[in-house]
Each structure stands twice: as C-alpha cells, then as structure tokens.
C-alpha cells in the first residue's frame, strides 16, 4: 500500500484509510463484534494504517471495536477519533478532556493519533478548543489536532493556536464544496485533507438503487440526496464515473477514489465498508492512475451537473 503524509506535520498513513462507522451503525445491520474485529485486522494485513472512528459512532461501541481489533498492532496504525457531536456540539474544555480520557480507555491506548473536533461548536471560541487540544498534545495524550467540517476562517484561527494536521470534510465527485475555500486554505497552511464519504455514501459506486429503498437501520433515506426523486435525477454523476471507469479498466469506486488521490498529495480518503471484497476494491484505487485529461474531464463534467438535494443534515460548515 502506498503511503501519504497528512499535511506538513501530520502522520504518514496509507494512501487510502478506513472509515469505521459502518461497522457499528448507519448503513444497515452491523456485523457481530467478532466479525468486526476480524474485518479490521484483515484491513491491517492489507496495508491500511489509518482508521477513523468517533465517540458518537454507536455511540461508543465503534471506539470499543476499533480498540479491541487494533490493540495487538497498535504501533503499526494511526487511530483518529472525535469529540463534539454526541448530545450536541459541546466543545467546552472540560468536555474535551473528558471525551479524550474516555476515548483513550475505549481505544485501549495511551495516545490518540489524531483528535478531531467533530463539528464546530458556535458557543465555544475555536481558540479555546485548539488551546485545550494543545494541552493534551503537550501531555502526550494526543499526537495531532484535526477539525471536521470547519470553514476556512475557522481552520486559520485554530491553526494559529495549535497546528492543525488534518481537516476532515465530505468531498467527492458529487460534493465539491471544499474546493472553493477549504482545500486552498489547507494547501496554504500545510494541512492534510481527509475526505469522508468519498464514494458519496455509496452512490458513486453505482450500487445504490434509484428506488430510494434501503434496509433496516440505514440512515441514508433521511438525507435529501437519497430520496427516490434525487437519486434518479443524480444518475448523470454515476454515468460520468462509469464511463471513465470503463476506459481505465477500473470500477466506479476506484475512479471516484483515484480522482481524489490525484487532486492533491495530502488527500487521504477514508471510504467505509463492511465487506472484504469492497475493502480490497477500494484499496486498489491507489494503483489506478488517472491522466490529467481524465481528472479535467471529471472536473468539468461534474461541475456542469446540478446535483439534486442538499448534503446530509448537520454536515454544513460553521465559522
């Protein structure tokens, strides 16, 4: 597996990481604990070194799963987790410290490699948040600071207090909002970008039915882009990706990921899956080389497609 560095001062990780949320919640029935542990260890065996979780996933049980699975290989992996989404956006300094201690316990580790603020708290100055994480870094409990779904101005303010290693935002061929301000700010400041839902919550793979029918415990039907009307209207995006995939002898998922990898060397997508063959498919995207013409075609044609439906609730950036 190829590696990349998350920004100027962040950790070196696999070019494609793993979003772990779906192993516990969100996308239909979760695997058993034993199956989840085996899956995560299989990911390590295949070269994945960046694992993304959060206290709110489950809640709590995803961190526990990740902790159990990765404890035997702790020094070989980078674990990222988050505070500031459970029960609101509470990022008061005392709460950050409480969450960090509880996450350390659930993750069975003595340090958190990347600690993200999950969502910006409008009631707590970002300088206070960054200052608290800075203290945790000085204490050795956290190694790197991250922000999730933060606006460029917020990133700059936080970075002035404690260097930000990574910013996590939704970014994919059908969600390109970060290109206007966030991506340029990250490039300027030497910050890595970690796209979540790089496959459009499965839509870009072409495997999502346009009927809008999903299984039990799948939260996508509640999102504006996953109504049957929006899915049908957004099919041109899937057609675009499929066309490039056929030319490159790759899958749609691999093209969607390869496009992100081609955008900037400090971008590390974290697609999530519960299936080993999908994991292997996603990891192989690191070997798919898109030409400059391919990237330009995807850029231009996707920009001309008006995506129907807003991004999922609660994922908007806040200053």
CA atoms within 13 A of residue 107's CA, in its CB half-sphere: 30
Q: Where are the strands (E) in the chain, listed by range?
A: 3-5, 12-14, 18-19, 50-52, 78-83, 112-117, 142-148, 164-170, 192-196
Helix then strand then coil, in percent of the chain rounded to 5, is 45, 15, 40
> Using CA atoms, how far apart are residues 212 and 217, in angstroms rounded to an integer?
14
User: DSSP string of 55-95?
Assistant: TTTTTTHHHHHHHHHHGGGGGG-EEEEEES-TTS----HHH
Q: How far is CA 97 from CA 137, 145, 149, 165, in A?
A: 11, 14, 21, 19
Q: Residue 314 — left, alpha, or beta (φ > 0 → left; ψ -120 to 50 → alpha)?
A: left
Q: Residue 190 — left, alpha, or beta (φ > 0 → left; ψ -120 to 50 → alpha)?
A: left
> Using CA atoms, how far apart are residues 307 and 284, in angstroms rounded to an integer?
28
Tokens of 182: 């966030």
Among 57, 60, 116, 171, which one carries the catalytic annotation? Answer: 57
Residue bearing tokens 């920004």: 7
Element of type H or E holding 153: helix 152-161
Q: How far is CA 48 from CA 201, 238, 263, in A?
A: 20, 27, 21
Residue bearing tokens 């922000």: 147
**Would residue 116 show up in a list of annotated catalytic residues for this protein?**
no
Are 83 and 115 a contacting pair, CB within 8 Å? yes
Residues forming the active site: 57
């Amino acid at each position: 597996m190829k590696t990349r560095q998350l920004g100027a001062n962040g950790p070196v990780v696999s070019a494609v990481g793993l979003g772990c949320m779906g192993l516990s919640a969100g996308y239909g029935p979760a695997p058993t604990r034993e199956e989840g542990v085996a899956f995560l260890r299989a990911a390590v065996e295949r070269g994945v070194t960046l694992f993304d979780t959060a206290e709110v996933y489950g809640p709590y049980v995803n961190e526990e799963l990740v902790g159990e699975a990765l404890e035997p290989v702790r020094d070989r992996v980078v674990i990222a987790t988050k505070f500031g989404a459970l029960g609101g956006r509470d990022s008061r300094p005392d709460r950050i410290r409480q969450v960090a201690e509880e996450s350390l316990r659930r993750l069975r580790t003595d340090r958190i490699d990347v600690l993200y603020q999950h969502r910006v708290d409008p009631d707590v100055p970002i300088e206070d948040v960054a200052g608290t994480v800075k203290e945790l870094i000085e204490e050795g409990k956290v190694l790197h600071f991250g922000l999730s779904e933060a606006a460029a101005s917020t990133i700059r303010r936080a970075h002035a207090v404690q260097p930000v290693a990574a910013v996590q935002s939704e970014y994919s061929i059908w969600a390109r909002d970060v290109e206007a301000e966030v991506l340029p700010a990250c490039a300027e400041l030497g910050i890595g970008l970690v796209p979540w839902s790089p496959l459009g919550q499965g839509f870009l793979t072409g495997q999502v039915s346009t009927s809008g029918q999903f299984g039990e415990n799948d939260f996508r039907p509640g999102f504006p882009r996953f109504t049957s009307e929006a899915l049908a209207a957004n099919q041109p995006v899937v057609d675009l990706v499929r066309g490039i995939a056929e030319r490159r002898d790759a899958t749609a998922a691999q093209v969607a990921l390869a496009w992100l990898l081609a955008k900037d060397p400090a971008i590390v997508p974290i697609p999530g899956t519960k299936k080993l063959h999908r994991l292997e498919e996603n990891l192989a995207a690191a070997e798919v080389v898109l030409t400059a013409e391919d990237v330009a075609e995807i850029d231009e044609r996707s920009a001309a497609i008006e995506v129907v439906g807003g991004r999922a609730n609660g994922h908007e950036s806040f200053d």
